[in-house]
């Protein structure tokens, strides 16, 4: 028993070391500022799309793998999904986002459920005790609702079901289905930004961006989803 605990500790420390190295490389070694300027994105857009068209299957699977690793290393989902929408359009961007984030989140859940379940219960069970009966009664249904509603940072959202021993199959299916609405909206927003870059040789004004159909429709979709979330919260989260 003690040897198993020691193995868990060493594996957990190894995972944390990988995460720290990744974050150090991302923020210290990469010049992120250059990669986010309009001129940089505009000048490299054609190259990216040409490379994607010539190596479509390869780029598709690369994006899925990168997305899984990104979520596994505790990255935020929205930037990745918007990038997928930018490169592949709203529909394939959604497919990439849903597959990557569902697999990545399930791997995190499996890892945390094995190594950190007791720690997570100790820290968060009192705060989320009201969810226990809901997960127990209708595990898959509530897992879908839980993902649609969100309300907590993705990193924590991936871990909370550990406290309720959600089956891995239900966790994956619930995550896959529940993520679709918000990922579709984010992928549409990324695709809309790509369309704006394609149409404008210079950085468009905020008014031009926000009033373009490709941008305001995903924003309206997000607001409608937010309204739906509030309705669902009132139905399922009230005591």
Per-10-residue mean pLDDT of the chain, 239 residues long, equals 50 57 52 53 75 89 91 83 89 94 92 80 73 75 82 80 86 91 87 78 62 70 73 62
What CA dihedral angle connects 14, 16, 20 and 23, to 10 degrees? 120
> Rounded distance, CA 69 to CA 66, Å?
5
Q: Which token pair is 136?
A: 């127990």
CB atoms within 10 A of CB 229: 17
For residue 203, what is the DSSP state? P
> Rounded distance, CA 110 to CA 117, Å?
10
pLDDT at 119 (0 to 100)? 79
pLDDT at 28 (0 to 100)? 53
pLDDT at 41 (0 to 100)? 65
> Rounded distance, CA 211 to CA 214, Å?
9
Task: Render 150-166 in DSSP notation, one character per residue.
Answer: --S-HHHHTTGGGGGT-
Place of tokens 């190259």: 47
Q: CA distances (Å), 21 to each of 29, 62, 114, 159, in order?
A: 11, 21, 23, 22
Domain boundaries, the chain: 31-236
pLDDT at 190 (0 to 100)? 85
pLDDT at 161 (0 to 100)? 85
């Amino acid at each position: 028993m003690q040897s198993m605990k020691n193995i868990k500790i060493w594996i957990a420390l190894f995972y944390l070391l990988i995460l720290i190295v990744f974050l150090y490389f991302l923020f210290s070694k990469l010049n992120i500022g250059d990669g986010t300027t309009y001129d940089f994105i505009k000048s490299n857009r054609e190259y990216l799309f040409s490379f994607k068209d010539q190596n479509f299957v390869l780029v598709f699977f690369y994006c899925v793998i990168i997305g899984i690793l990104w979520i596994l290393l505790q990255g935020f989902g929205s930037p990745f999904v918007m990038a997928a929408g930018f490169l592949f359009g709203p529909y394939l961007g959604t497919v990439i986002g849903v597959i990557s984030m569902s697999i990545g989140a399930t791997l995190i859940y499996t890892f945390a459920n094995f190594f950190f379940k007791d720690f997570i219960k100790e820290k968060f069970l009192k705060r989320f005790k009201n969810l226990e009966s809901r997960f127990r009664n209708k595990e898959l249904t509530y897992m879908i609702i839980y993902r649609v509603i969100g309300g907590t940072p993705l990193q924590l959202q991936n871990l909370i079901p550990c406290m309720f021993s959600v089956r891995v199959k239900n966790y994956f299916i619930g995550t896959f289905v529940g993520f679709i609405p918000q990922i579709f909206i984010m992928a549409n927003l990324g695709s809309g930004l790509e369309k704006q870059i394609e149409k404008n040789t210079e950085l468009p004004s905020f008014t031009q961006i926000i009033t373009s159909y490709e941008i305001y429709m995903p924003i309206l979709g997000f607001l409608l989803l937010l309204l739906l979330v509030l309705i669902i919260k009132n139905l399922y989260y009230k005591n």
